[in-house]
């Protein structure tokens, strides 16, 4: 029996050995007999129609089994939940890089070569690919809750204010770029198809694939025990998933399809470009009187997605008059999608920069300014906070970071040819539990009891296997080493996805509920009276039971909706800016996070570090550049799309606030995957201003913008 509690301990990942030895199975690692290989080929125009596809030469090429285009593809349900279109159902072209066909061959090399033999003739149409040119055409989004949200009279408050700013912040297109590109293996057994695929939402992928293929969900099995990153791009499903199934059906054998890094840039969504107009007003004492956050963005021609950049502005600060609005322009670009910290990471850059700008105008410390405008309840809906740690994050972070060394006036700290600056930025992200189910199976041999935990959860590399094992260990009284975790399979009990920071709370509470239930059921089987509640492991031994199992279907607390439930953070950056080259180095970074019960500080720390690294990349390097002449991305590999490397990142430290909040769920678990990136870019941008006196409002902040 486990004597020490495992939840809250920084234990190593139970799947770590599999990963470092290369034996963890990802989507394309499965060995199937007689497997064929598919390669997608894509449109080279942004708008128009295919008038002809000549595939004769490709079909005669050695090893080629099939060439699939809109001419011979089976009828699919385009409204089945697959994002981005490109399902080979029409000759119409809506963006550069749209799937227009795939070649299936004996080998990957044969399939790739055959794609070069295909001749495509187009009838081009006028395209909309220049966001700056077309931004003025933006209209109200079609989606619900995306219109203007107002409180009070912003215009009057702004007009009458003595201290105010009215500025535009810009964030570019970004791409997810997970280590594992999207890839799938498909094989059919009669009317049933199995899809090995990296899916952040196992059951979501199952239903989307089934609906699109016009078959029942029970005929689709998704297998995804390990995912090599996703950051939102593997939350919804894209055409490559279903097209692999189509190819396997047409050639009557297993098919493997893996996107190349270049294809990733126009196959699986992106973080859209945003223009964010911020207007802030305050009294001379530093009390906010008005906040307007107006976002203009883009979507696809026929499919809409709006990143909610104003979400942080709704609830981070107490302000009596506010406006949150969105406008969107349809363009010939693949539909945007959820990207880590969607809306909050980009929106917090604008909001936290604007807060810093107004604090400087007031000659007030930006931490003092934030605390002065701390709301007692959620300003957006009037609900009480389940808990809120922003002030604590700021105060503990300032002390640990050495904030007292910061000077309000820029360019006051130097070291040789470097200007040194300090910046802060706050963030938030909703914390939610979603319906999830779990099965617990107990097996006894002698006095040793082992457990198998089953649920259709997913692990992006964030440590899902491990936190499930820790939760079960404590609830069952069984060592972590005696627990087997089975996840990533739609044949298992349905579970929430690893999206929107709902995974850890949903999985852990479902497993905990199942462990409590199995203990209760074992006690009910016994005729003994217990002075102290026994563990499930003790009951298996005392009652001489060999095998026992149960299932629990967990739901969030009934009264959770009465509260505003969020994780919060405060980020502190120290930057060194070279006076002569404009190069920026983030020398130190501190992230202080209030996210309820931390199940595993080691995996949680890794999550926060990952968010900080991406936030630093957002601030300094990451940008997908679209060629307005053709509509294609000129940044389409990691040679041109610059993510931070080890040498770009200084010392990163993390602090977790000791927070007990059981209103979101029984275990008091909140998400950290999303909030880890929120506020980071703002902290870096504010530090750069403190170092240089230059306020850069369009990301990334490259050296040319500082010279």
CATH number at residue 225: 3.30.365.10
- 335 within domain boundaries: no
Distance of CA 464 to the CA centre of its chain: 15
For 619-635, the pLDDT digits (tens) are 999 999 999 999 999 99
Average confidence (pLDDT) over 359-373: 98
- Residue 530's pLDDT is what? 87
Domain count, the chain: 3
- Residue 143's pLDDT is what? 75
- 361 within domain boundaries: yes
- 295 within domain boundaries: no
CB atoms within 10 A of CB 51: 10
Average confidence (pLDDT) over 333-347: 97
For 47-84, the pLDDT digits (tens) are 999 999 999 999 999 999 999 999 999 999 999 999 98
Decide: 577 and 688 in contact? Cβ < 8 Å.
yes
Average confidence (pLDDT) over 199-225: 98
Average confidence (pLDDT) over 293-319: 97
Q: Do 540 and 681 reside in the same domain of the chain? A: no
Give the chain's mean pLDDT: 97
Whether 144 has a pLDDT exceeding 80, the answer reads no
- 279 within domain boundaries: no
307 is catalytic: no
Whether 698 has a pLDDT exceeding 90, the answer reads yes
- 28 within domain boundaries: no
Task: Tell me how far CA of residue 121 lies from CA of 66, 99, 131, 199, 460, in angstroms.
Answer: 20, 15, 27, 35, 41
Q: Do 665 and 588 reside in the same domain of the chain? A: yes
Q: Do 471 and 536 reside in the same domain of the chain? A: yes
- 170 within domain boundaries: no
- Residue 659's pLDDT is what? 97
Q: Do 582 and 490 reside in the same domain of the chain? A: no
Share of the chain above pLDDT 90, in %: 97
Q: Do 603 and 696 reside in the same domain of the chain? A: yes
For 458-472, the pLDDT digits (tens) are 999 999 999 999 999
Decide: 611 and 462 in contact? Cβ < 8 Å.
no
CA 254 to CA 185: how far, in whole Å? Answer: 7
Whether 147 has a pLDDT exceeding 90, the answer reads no
Q: Do 630 and 662 reside in the same domain of the chain? A: yes
Whether 342 has a pLDDT exceeding 90, the answer reads yes
- Residue 2's pLDDT is what? 44
Q: Do 438 and 426 reside in the same domain of the chain? A: no
Q: Do 421 and 440 reside in the same domain of the chain? A: no
Whether 192 has a pLDDT exceeding 70, the answer reads yes
Choosing from 94, 357, 623, 674, which is the catalytic residue?
674
| Structure tokens given for 142 | 């079609």
pLDDT band at 145 (very low <50, low <70, confident <90, very high): low
- 27 within domain boundaries: no
- 171 within domain boundaries: no
The residue range of the domain holding 453 is 433-555
Decide: 177 and 643 in contact? Cβ < 8 Å.
yes
CB atoms within 10 A of CB 109: 12
- Residue 3's pLDDT is what? 62
For 418-445, the pLDDT digits (tens) are 999 999 999 999 999 999 999 999 999 9
* Single residue among 506, 529, 555 that ends a domain in this structure: 555
Average confidence (pLDDT) over 519-526: 96
Q: Do 426 and 453 reside in the same domain of the chain? A: no
- Residue 1's pLDDT is what? 42
- Backbone dihedral region for residue 453 (phi beyond 0: left; psi -120 to 50: alpha; all else: beta): beta
Whether 42 has a pLDDT exceeding 80, the answer reads yes
């Amino acid at each position: 029996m486990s004597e020490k509690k495992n939840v809250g301990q920084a234990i190593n990942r139970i799947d770590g050995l599999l990963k470092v030895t290369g034996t963890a199975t990802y989507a394309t690692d499965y060995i199937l007999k007689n497997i064929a290989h598919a390669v997608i080929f894509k449109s080279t125009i942004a708008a128009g129609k295919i008038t002809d596809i000549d595939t004769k030469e490709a079909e005669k090429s050695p090893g080629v089994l099939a060439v699939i285009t809109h001419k011979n593809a089976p009828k699919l349900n385009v409204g089945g939940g697959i994002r981005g279109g490109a399902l080979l159902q029409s000759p119409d072209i809506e963006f550069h890089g749209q799937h227009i066909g795939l070649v299936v061959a004996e080998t990957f090399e044969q399939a790739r070569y055959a794609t070069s033999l295909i001749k495509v003739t187009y009838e081009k149409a006028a395209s909309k690919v220049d966001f700056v040119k077309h931004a003025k055409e933006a209209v109200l989004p079609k989606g619900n809750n995306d219109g203007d949200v107002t409180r009070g009279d912003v215009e009057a408050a702004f007009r009458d204010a003595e201290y105010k700013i009215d500025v535009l912040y810009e964030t570019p297109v970004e791409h997810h770029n997970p280590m594992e590109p999207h890839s799938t293996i498909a094989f059919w057994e009669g009317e049933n198809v199995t899809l090995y695929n990296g899916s952040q939402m196992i059951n979501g992928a199952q239903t989307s694939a089934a609906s699109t293929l016009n078959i029942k969900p029970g005929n689709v099995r998704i297998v995804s025990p390990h995912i090599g990153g996703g950051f939102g791009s593997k939350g919804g499903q894209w055409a490559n998933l279903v097209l692999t199934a189509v190819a396997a059906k047409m050639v009557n054998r297993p098919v493997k399809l893996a996107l190349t890094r270049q294809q990733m840039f126009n196959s699986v969504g992106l973080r859209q470009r945003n223009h964010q107009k911020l207007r802030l007003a305050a009294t001379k004492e530093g009390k906010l009187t008005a906040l307007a956050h107006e976002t203009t963005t883009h979507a696809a021609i026929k499919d809409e997605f709006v990143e909610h950049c104003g979400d942080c502005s709704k609830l981070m600060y107490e302000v009596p008059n506010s406006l949150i609005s969105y406008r969107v322009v349809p363009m010939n670009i693949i539909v945007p999608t959820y990207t880590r910290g969607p809306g909050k990471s980009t929106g917090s850059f604008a909001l936290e920069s604007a807060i810093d700008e107004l604090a400087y105008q007031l000659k007030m410390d930006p931490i003092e300014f934030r605390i002065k405008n701390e709301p007692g309840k959620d300003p957006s809906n009037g609900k009480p906070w389940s808990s809120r740690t922003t002030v604590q994050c700021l105060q503990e972070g300032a002390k640990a970071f050495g904030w007292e060394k910061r000077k309000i006036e820029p360019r006051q700290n130097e070291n040789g040819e470097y200007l040194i600056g300090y910046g802060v930025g706050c963030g938030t992200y909703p914390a939610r539990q979603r319906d999830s189910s779990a099965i617990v199976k107990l097996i006894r041999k002698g006095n040793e009891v082992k457990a198998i935990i089953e649920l259709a959860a997913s692990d992006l590399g964030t440590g899902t296997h491990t936190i499930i094992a820790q939760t079960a260990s404590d609830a069952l009284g069984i060592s972590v080493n005696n627990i087997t975790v089975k996840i990533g399979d739609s044949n298992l009990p349905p579970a929430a996805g690893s999206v929107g920071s709902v995974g850890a709370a949903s999985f852990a509470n479902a497993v905990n509920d199942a462990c409590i239930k199995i203990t209760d059921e074992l006690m009910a089987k016994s005729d003994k009276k217990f002075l102290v509640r026994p563990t499930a492991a003790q009951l298996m031994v005392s009652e001489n039971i060999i095998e026992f199992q149960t299932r629990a279907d967990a739901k969030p607390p009934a009264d959770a909706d009465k509260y505003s439930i969020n994780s919060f953070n405060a980020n502190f950056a120290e930057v060194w800016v070279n006076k002569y080259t404009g190069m920026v180095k983030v020398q130190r970074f501190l992230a202080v996070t209030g996210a309820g019960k931390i199940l595993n500080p080691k995996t949680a720390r890794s999550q926060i570090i990952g968010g900080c690294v991406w936030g630093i990349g957002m601030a300094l390097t990451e940008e997908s550049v679209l060629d307005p002449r053709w509509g294609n991305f000129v940044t389409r590999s990691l040679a041109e799309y610059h993510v931070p490397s080890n040498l770009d990142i200084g010392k990163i430290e993390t602090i977790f606030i000791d927070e007990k909040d059981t209103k979101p769920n029984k275990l008091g678990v909140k998400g950290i995957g999303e909030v880890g990136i929120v506020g980071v870019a703002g902290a870096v941008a504010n530090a750069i201003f403190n170092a240089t006196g230059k306020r850069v409002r369009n990301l990334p902040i490259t050296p040319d913008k500082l010279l």
